[in-house]
Amino acid sequence: MSSNGILMNTEDFLAKLDPEIKFHFFTFKWGDKYGPEYVNRLYGSLVKYCDVPFAFTCITDNPDGIRPEVLLLDYNQIGPDSWRAYGQDKIFTREKLCLMDLDIPGTIGWIDLDVLITTEVTSMVTRDFKKPTFILNHWNMDKENSFKWFGKGSDCHVNSSFVMWKDDVAQWLFDYTDKNLEKLMFTYKSLDKYLYYQHWRTDRLAFWEEGLVDNYNFSEPQYEERKEVRITLFNTSHIIIQNMDIEAYELHETEGMWPWDHWVSYDKS
């Protein structure tokens, strides 16, 4: 199946899905923070390191430059109208949860664009998921005072950059969010905080084991390539928003460092 550069609406997209494909990965690209090379290289990394037949879909407002093997879903009509009515300062990236309501059989997941896959992930994505599985920020959790500010609302040890589930085991999360939408939008600025404060606290989520996922800018020591790690995160937006004094890199800023060679090599996958 090829996108031919055409953005599909959700109904057409679901109707055209190949029923033989049991693994469906999604990514989101809207606005101009990341270029199409982020989408193409993420897809290339899955081609190289995910050894099961899969479909890869980009939910976007601009399909320009995205390779034709990547399916395209229209960002501007994803999810219910009631969710789209809120600004981006309310549960930022809440759109991801709408994937849990698509009723696609098999294994489904989303992967953020600023994620670098550096070795096989087949064994991660072919699990029999009983709960939606997220990243826990192990690199922060052992630090002094890492849970001290929970009551203040400023902790956050959940990350939603690489998330997988199977069949309908995540439907409850969409339903819960939809049912409590007004209060949740009022309370939480980001998806990760919402998940941490409402669902990590109540043990409703599963998490990848420590060591599988790393954070290039936050792990100590920083910027190291660790052998056992399969997925490395690069996001810097919260560093900028919180005005943190940390030297941090996005993937496209790593030329001359170890991530760069991996990243650009996926153009050829």
Partner 1 sequence: MTKVDAWIYTQVTTFSDAETIAIVGPANKRNLYNEFSNIKSFKEVNMYDYDPARSDDKNIINKDVVFDVELHEDLIINYACEKMWPLGEMYKDREFILIGDNEKHNGDCNPIISNKMMVKQNCLEEIWSFNECTRWKGKYFMVYGCN
In this complex, which beta carbon is closest to partner 1, that of residue 154 or of residue 269? 154
Q: Give me the least distance between CB of 152 and partner 1, in Å please.
A: 5
In this complex, which beta carbon is closest to partner 1, that of residue 4 or of residue 145? 145
The strand order across the sheet containing 55-60 reads 71-74, 55-60, 23-29, 107-111, 158-166, 133-136, 206-207
Binding-site size for partner 1 (CB under 8 A) equals: 19
User: What token pair was written down for 57?
Assistant: 């879909």
Please identify which residue in the block is written with the tokens 């969010």.
177
Q: Which of 19, 87, 151, 221 binds partner 1 (CB under 8 A)?
A: 151
SS3 79: coil
Q: Give me the least distance between CB of 130 and partner 1, in Å please.
A: 22
Map 90-127 to HEC letters: CCECHHHHHHHHCCCCCEEEEECCCEEECCCCHHHHCC
User: Do 137 and 215 form a contact (C-beta atoms < 8 A)?
Assistant: yes
Please identify which residue in the block is written with the tokens 């698509």.
102
Q: Which of 187, 212, 222, 239 binds partner 1 (CB under 8 A)?
A: 187
Q: Give me the least distance between CB of 205 and partner 1, in Å please.
A: 14
In this complex, which beta carbon is closest to partner 1, that of residue 4 or of residue 202? 202
Residue 88 contacts partner 1 per CB under 8 A: no
Residue 183 contacts partner 1 per CB under 8 A: yes
Residue 172 contacts partner 1 per CB under 8 A: no
Q: How many CB atoms lie within 10 A of CB 110?
A: 24
Residue 198 contacts partner 1 per CB under 8 A: yes
User: What token pair was written down for 128?
Assistant: 């029999």
Stretch that binds partner 1, among 24-32, 37-45, 145-153, 216-224 (CB under 8 A): 145-153
Residues 17-56 that bind partner 1 (CB under 8 A): none
Q: Which of 77, 180, 222, 236 binds partner 1 (CB under 8 A)?
A: 180
User: What token pair was written down for 205?
Assistant: 């989520």
β-strand pairing of 55-60 with 71-74? parallel
In this complex, which beta carbon is closest to partner 1, that of residue 134 or of residue 200? 200
Q: How far apart are CA 94 and CA 4, in angstroms?
A: 28
Q: Which of 147, 225, 244, 265 binds partner 1 (CB under 8 A)?
A: 147
Phi and psi at residue 205, in whole multiples of 5°?
A: -115, 160
Stretch that binds partner 1, among 23-31, 57-65, 195-203, 214-222 (CB under 8 A): 195-203
Q: Which residues bind partner 1 (CB under 8 A)?
A: 147-154, 180, 183, 186-189, 197-198, 201-202, 242
